[in-house]
């Protein structure tokens, strides 16, 4: 059998290939199992950039809890109470859980990219797992656990919509949804710090620092693919955002973080021009 058409390995069997190990981690259901699988992917693992995988059913693996609900059903609570801050940290932990899955999904799903592409996304998967752990441990310190509050699945919905199109995946996940996280972080951080929760605020600082790198990786590979296809990035992004139903981004924008993540003046101008009602900062 041609190695490029081999199905994914059955559960319990450790695949030699880094991308196969990413698929196994994506399929893992319980968070301890998933995070251990991410940590278990070694830099020295064989990397077959051309391999095509048969997708197993039931992706992504996820635990029974948290219960998934519509975004409008996720309650916003006061930062003045421990319960309210725990609910916020839980929402962030769930975003990071999904972000681990998203990075793993890029690794196995999209064949034919250069080796450095897969190395970059492995780094992202590891950092998302680190963010998840920081938030989960902070939740425990506040008397809660991951799974205690309902959560919504918006991030993974976008992964499904863009599962056949890497250019769209890069445009809409790192360059839209993760970039929106750059904009939201300062406000979240200040809310937590304002409530006297310096430990939680410090975790948001670490996440923002790393997320600039994730958006930068998304920008770099989006522009690489645009150049290869002879497409102009600003127009190409606008077209993909419309075709795949990207959320309309509203200011204020974290322009400093966005610049550090590689958005250029033309992209930032296009973002701000798309703001009929809200003044951006
Ligand atoms: Fe993250
Ligand atoms: Fe990220």
What distance in angstroms lies between residue 38's CA and the mean position of ligand 2's atoms? Answer: 15
Q: For residue range 108-121, what is the model confidence (pLDDT) as tens digits?
A: 999 999 999 999 99
pLDDT at residue 246 in the model: 92
Give me the pLDDT at residue 148, please. Answer: 96
The ligand whose atoms approach the alpha carbon of 180 most closely is 2
pLDDT (mean) for 64-91: 91
Q: What is the pLDDT of residue 154?
A: 82
Distance from the alpha carbon of residue 220 to the mean position of ligand 2, in angstroms: 15
Half-sphere exposure of 257 (CA within 13 A, CB side): 24
Please tell me the distance between residue 27's alpha carbon and the centre of ligand 1 in angstroms: 19
Report d(CA 264, CA 281) in Å as an integer: 16
Give the number of the ligand closest to the Cα of residue 207: 1
- Residue 230 Cα to ligand 1 midpoint, Å, equals 31
Mean pLDDT of the region 67-96:
92
pLDDT tier at 161, thresholds 50, 70, 90: very high
The pLDDT value recorded for residue 122 is 98
Got the DSSP string for 85-132? HHHHHHHHHHHHHHHHHHHHHHHHH--S--HHHHHHHHHHHHHHHHHH
Rounded to two decimals, the pTM is 0.93
Tell whether the model's pLDDT for residue 278 goes beyond 60. Answer: no
Beta carbons within 10 angstroms of residue 221's beta carbon: 24
pLDDT digits (tens, 9 = 90+) for 31-53: 999 999 999 999 999 999 999 99
Confidence of residue 276 (pLDDT cuts 50, 70, 90): low
- What pLDDT does residue 74 have? 84
**Spacing, Cα 6 to ligand 1 middle (Å):** 32
Q: Return the ligand number nearest the Cα of 206.
A: 1
Mean pLDDT over 76-97 rounds to 94
pLDDT band at 279, cuts 50/70/90? very low
Is the pLDDT assigned to residue 57 strictly greater than 70?
A: yes
CB count within 10 Å of CB 177 equals 22
Tell me what pLDDT residue 2 has: 42
- Rounded to the nearest whole angstrom, what is the distance from the C-alpha of residue 78 to the centroid of ligand 1? 24
Tokens linked to 205: 């600082």
Q: How far is the CA of 178 from the centre of ligand 1 (A)?
A: 8
More confident of the two residues 56 and 226: 226
Place of tokens 């693992």: 45
Ligand 1 mean position, distance from CA 80 (Å)? 25
Please determine, for residue 84, whether its predicted confidence score (pLDDT) is greater than 90: yes
Q: What is the pLDDT of residues 167-183, one digit of tens each?
A: 999 999 999 999 999 99
On average, the pLDDT of the chain sits at 93
Task: Give the Å distance between the CA of 181 and the centre of ligand 1.
Answer: 9
160 pLDDT higher than 90:
yes
Is the confidence at residue 238, as pLDDT, over 60?
yes
Predicted local distance difference test score (pLDDT) of residue 104: 98
| 39 Cβ contact list (under 8 Å, min separation 6) | 126, 129
- Given a cut of 70, whether residue 79 has pLDDT beyond it is yes
Cα 6 to its chain centre, rounded Å, is 28
Ligand 1: distance of its center to the CA of 96 in Å? 5
The average pLDDT across 225-234 equals 97
Answer yes or no: is pLDDT of 264 > 80.
yes
Collapsing DSSP to helix, strand or coil, 219 comes out as helix
Q: How many CB atoms lie within 10 A of CB 200?
A: 26
State the average pLDDT over residues 122-145. 98
| Residue from 103, 82, 87, 101 nearest 151 by CA | 87
Quote the ligand 2 centre to 143 CA distance (angstroms): 26
Crossing angle of helices 115-141 and 198-229, rounded to 10°: 160
Q: Calculate the alpha carbon distances from 100 to 67, 91, 93, 263 in Å.
A: 18, 14, 11, 23
Percent of the chain with pLDDT over 90: 83
Task: Give the per-residue pLDDT at 12.
Answer: 58
């Amino acid at each position: 059998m041609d190695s490029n058409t081999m199905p994914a390995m059955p559960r319990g069997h450790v695949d030699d290939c880094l991308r196969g190990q990413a698929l196994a981690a994506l399929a893992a259901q319980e968070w301890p199992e998933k995070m251990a699988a991410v940590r278990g992917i070694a830099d020295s693992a064989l990397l077959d950039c051309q391999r095509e995988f048969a997708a197993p059913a039931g992706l992504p693996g996820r635990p029974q809890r948290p219960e998934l609900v519509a975004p409008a059903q996720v309650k916003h609570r006061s930062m003045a109470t421990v319960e309210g801050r725990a609910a916020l940290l839980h929402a962030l932990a769930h975003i990071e859980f999904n972000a681990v899955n998203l990075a793993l999904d890029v690794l196995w799903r999209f064949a034919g990219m250069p080796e450095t592409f897969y190395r970059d996304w492995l780094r992202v998967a590891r950092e998302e797992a680190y963010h998840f752990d920081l938030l989960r441990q902070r939740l425990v310190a506040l008397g809660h656990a991951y799974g205690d509050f309902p959560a919504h699945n918006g991030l993974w919905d976008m992964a499904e919509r863009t599962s056949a199109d890497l250019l769209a995946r890069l445009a809409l996940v790192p360059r839209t949804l993760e970039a929106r996280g750059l904009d939201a972080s300062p406000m979240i951080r200040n809310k937590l710090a304002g409530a006297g929760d310096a430990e939680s605020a410090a975790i948001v600082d670490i996440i923002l620092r790393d997320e600039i790198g994730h958006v930068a990786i998304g920008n770099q590979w989006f522009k690489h693919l645009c150049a290869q296809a002879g497409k102009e990035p600003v127009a190409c992004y606008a077209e993909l955002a419309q075709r795949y139903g990207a959320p309309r981004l509203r200011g204020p924008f974290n322009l400093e973080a966005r610049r550090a993540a590689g958005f250029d003046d033309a992209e930032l101008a296009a973002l701000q021009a798309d703001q009929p009602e809200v003044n951006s900062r």
